[in-house]
Structure 1
Amino acid sequence: MKYRRANLNDIEKMVELRKKQLVDEGLEPSIDIDEELSVFFREKLSESRLIQWLVEDGEGIIACGAVIFYDFPPSYTNKTGKKAYIANMYTNENYRGQGIAKNLLSKLVEEVKLSGISRIWLGASDMGRPVYKKFGFKEADEYLELSII
């Protein structure tokens, strides 16, 4: 297996992987989000606000994971205000249980360390939660959400 960073030429593949991830998490593909995903990946990659790793095997890309960087106002607990969010974690079902997600997380955490950010957060699916906990992520109730329709 080959691990590599995604680039602008990978956007179409990244869109497909993201949609597979969402379906795996139980979301129905009720609307077309291809264009919005393409724009998101193009902009974030171009701005260096997203780093996505891809894992390739003989049949193509079988896994991926990303870190997205956000700027918040500096605070007493986060002097720079910069935060990192793990996203787009997906492994093809035929390759699960082989440590691929752990390897991807290691690469993403290293990217975050190199950027000088000291905290990482993520939203975990039921399937992913054990992987993240085993890696060392802890439960936190730091955020509230309001849905505005």
Structure 2
Amino acid sequence: MLYRLATPQDIPVLIELRKRQLIDEGSTPDTIIDNELNTFFERNFRDNSLVQWIVEEQDEIIATAGVIFYAFPPSYTNASGIKGYITNVYTHTSYRGQGLASALLDKLVSEAKKRHVPVLLLEASTMGKPVYQKYGFTEMDTWMIYRLNLSF
């Protein structure tokens, strides 16, 4: 298996993996989001705010995980204000349970350390939650969410 950083040339495959991830998590593909995903990947690769790793087996991308670095107001516990958000974590069904997600998390954590980013956040799917807990992520009880009813 080959671990490597994703490049803009990988965007078409990353789009497909993202859509598979969303469906696996229970989303209904009732909207075409390919253009929006393409714009997301192009913009975040260009400004270096997204670090996306992939795993290849026999020239096929079988797993991926990324971290987006973003600015938050500085605080006493994070003077730079930079945080990382782990996203786009997906492993092809036939390769699950082999530690690929954990190995990819190692790479994302290493990148965060290089950038002196002290906080990594993520939204765990039901399937992914045990992986993240085993890795050392803990649940937070201070965050809240408000969903706006927007139609596009």
5+ long unaligned stretches in structure 1: none
Per-residue deviation at 1:42?
Answer: 0.2
What is the distance in 2 between the residues matched to 1:71 and 1:40? 17
Q: Which runs of 5+ in 2 are unaligned?
A: none
Structure-1 residue corresponding to 2:78: 78
Query: For residues 121 and 80 of structure 1, what CA distance do their matches in structure 2 show?
Result: 16
Aligned partner letter, 1:74: P
1:1-149 equivalences in 2 (<5 Å): 1-58=1-58, 60-149=60-149
Q: CA deviation at 1:22?
A: 0.3
Q: How big is the shift at 1:146?
A: 1.2
Find the aligned partners of 1:31 and 1:45 in 2 and give their Cα distance. 24
1: CA distance between counterparts of 2:69 and 2:92? 25
Distance 1:142 1:106 in 2: 26
1:77 shift after superposition: 1.9
What per-residue deviation string (whole Å, max 9, x for no partner) do you get for residues 31-71 of structure 1? Answer: 00000000000000100000000111116100000000110
* Code of the aligned partner of 2:124: A
The 1-side partners of 2:59 and 2:30 are apart by: 28
CA distance in 2, matches of 1:11, 1:88: 12
Deviation per CA, 1:65-87, whole angstroms, max 9, x where unpaired? 00001101101121110000110
* 1:137 shift after superposition: 0.4
TM-score, length-scaled by structure 2: 0.95
Work out the CA distance in 1 between the residues paired with 2:78 and 2:59: 42
| Percentage identity across paired residues of the two chains | 50
Scaled by the length of structure 1, the TM-score of the pair is 0.97
SS in 2 for 1:15: helix
Number of equivalent positions: 149
Per-residue deviation, 1:145: 1.3
Distance in 2 of aligned mates of 1:79 and 1:71: 11
Runs of 4+ in 1 over 2 A off after TM superposition: none
Q: Following TM superposition, by how much is the alpha carbon of 1:148 offset from its aligned partner in structure 2, in angstroms?
A: 1.6
Paired with 2:148 and 2:97, the residues of 1 have a C-alpha distance of: 38
Q: Distance in 1 between matches of 2:47 and 2:9?
A: 15
